[in-house]
């Protein structure tokens, strides 16, 4: 696979910039799996740097299962209304609500440690860290509420 194809594939998977992906691939001599690991660790480091920033905005993500018997709402915080209105942020909030419907965490802290329902190789915190790296702001899962009938 050519470097350009590999960069495109990793960009589709992570949503990160061409430069970040190219640097990661160069650092690991073109190994896709090692590049993914490196990009994930960099996302975690980026999240740690931004963790002290105040989240003043955000969005509510909601999901109701097709049966209508289970649903969830999550409150996801970010720093600015610019990011709160971003489609990637809105998708994150909805995906987190869908995860909460499926996994039924007791609270936000428990949910952060769970394997993410759409990609069990990642935790929910890993998914949030990737969004932080992509969007450049502190993002926090503030609250989770799951409702079940029956």
pLDDT digits over 81-93, tens only?
999 999 999 999 9
Domain residue spans in the chain?
3-50, 57-148
pLDDT at 2: 60
CATH of region 3-50: 1.10.8.10
* Most confident segment among 8-22, 26-40, 44-58, 121-135: 121-135
pLDDT at 1: 54
Q: Which of 13-17, 22-26, 27-31, 128-132 has the lowest mean pLDDT?
A: 13-17
CATH of region 57-148: 3.30.479.20
The reported pTM is 0.75
State mean pLDDT over 94-98.
98
Average pLDDT, the chain: 90
pLDDT at 54: 87
**The two domains 3-50 and 57-148 share their CATH topology (first three levels equal):** no
pLDDT at 65: 96
DSSP the chain: --HHHHHHHHHHHH---HHHHHHHHHHTTT-HHHHHHHHHHHHHHHHHHHTTS---EEEEEEEE-TTSSEEEEEEEEES-HHHHT-HHHHHHHHHHHHHHHHH--SSHHHHHHSEETTEEEEEHHHHHHHHHHHH-S--EEEEEEEEE--
């Amino acid at each position: 696979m050519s470097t350009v194809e590999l960069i495109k594939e990793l960009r589709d998977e992570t949503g990160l910039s061409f430069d970040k992906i190219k640097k990661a691939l160069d650092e690991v001599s073109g190994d896709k799996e090692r590049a993914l690991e490196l990009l994930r660790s960099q996302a975690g480091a980026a999240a740690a740097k931004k963790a002290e920033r105040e989240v003043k905005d955000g969005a509510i993500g909601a999901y109701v299962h097709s049966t209508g018997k289970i649903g969830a709402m999550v409150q996801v915080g970010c720093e600015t209304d610019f990011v709160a209105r971003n489609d990637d942020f809105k998708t994150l909030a909805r995906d987190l609500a869908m995860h909460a419907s499926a996994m039924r965490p007791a609270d936000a802290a428990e949910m952060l440690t769970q394997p993410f329902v759409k990609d069990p190789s990642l935790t929910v915190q890993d998914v949030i860290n990737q969004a932080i790296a992509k969007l450049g702001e502190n993002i926090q899962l503030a609250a989770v509420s799951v409702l079940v009938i029956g």
